[in-house]
Amino acid sequence: MRLYIDTEGEVRRVQIMAENAGEWAPLQRMFERTRFLPGRRANANVASWLEIEVEVLELLRVL
């Protein structure tokens, strides 16, 4: 997954990098509601992309 995080730490875009992207809609919605600390550069918040690899078995274990 690739998440675009704005300067306020909100996820604005989620890109699923899998062949069966439609099956990941619940996970996509979960990340869309997640807040992050924004990136920082020269003491200012900056928007950034974050790539996350999701292990399905590990995810099922914690949910």
Cα–Cα distance for residue pair 62/60, rounded to 1 Å: 6
Cβ neighbours, 10 Å, residue 34:
13
Residue 21's pLDDT band, with cuts at 50, 70 and 90, is confident
- Model confidence pLDDT, tens digit, residues 37-54: 999 999 999 999 999 988
Q: Is 61 a residue whose pLDDT tops 70? A: yes
Residue 10 main-chain phi, psi, to 5 deg: -90, 140
Query: According to DSSP H, which parts of 1-63 are helical?
Result: 25-32, 56-62
pLDDT at position 63 is 67
Say which residue, 5 or 21, is predicted with more confidence: 5
Q: Is residue 8 over pLDDT 90? A: yes
Q: What is the pLDDT, as a whole number, of residue 18?
A: 81
